Amino acid sequence: MYRILLALGLLAVLYFLIRRAVQKIKERNEPERLAPGKNHMVQDPVCLVFVPRGTAITEEIGGQTYYFCSQSCAHKFQERLAG
């Protein structure tokens, strides 16, 4: 009887150790999976506020993509470039 309980206890410990190892591996890979997504924060070059890339106003100027928090900041940036 004690052998069965000991074996069940060891199996439970082994199960939780393996489960924890798998969770750590998933957490380690999480930033790589999220980095290119819409939740990546980008900085507005006018007011220097960080906004999620998925909600930012985007303008491509001179072959480079700029991200803005609002249309107002996008217009201000274009006015500064124009002179």
29 in the same domain as 50: no
Q: Give the pLDDT confidence of 13-31 residue by residue, as tens digits.
A: 999 999 998 898 888 876 5
Q: What is the total count of domains within the chain?
A: 2
Domain of residue 74: give its range: 41-82
46 in the same domain as 78: yes
45 in the same domain as 15: no
Question: Does the pLDDT at position 41 exceed 80?
Answer: yes
Maximal CA-CA distance, the chain: 87
Q: What is residue 25's three-state secondary structure?
A: helix
CB 39 within 8 A of CB 52: yes
- In angstroms, what CA-CA distances link 38 with 10, 22, 74? 44, 26, 19
Per-state percent for the chain, helix, strand, coil, to nearest 5 = 55, 20, 25
Question: Does the pLDDT at position 76 exceed 90?
Answer: yes
45 in the same domain as 72: yes
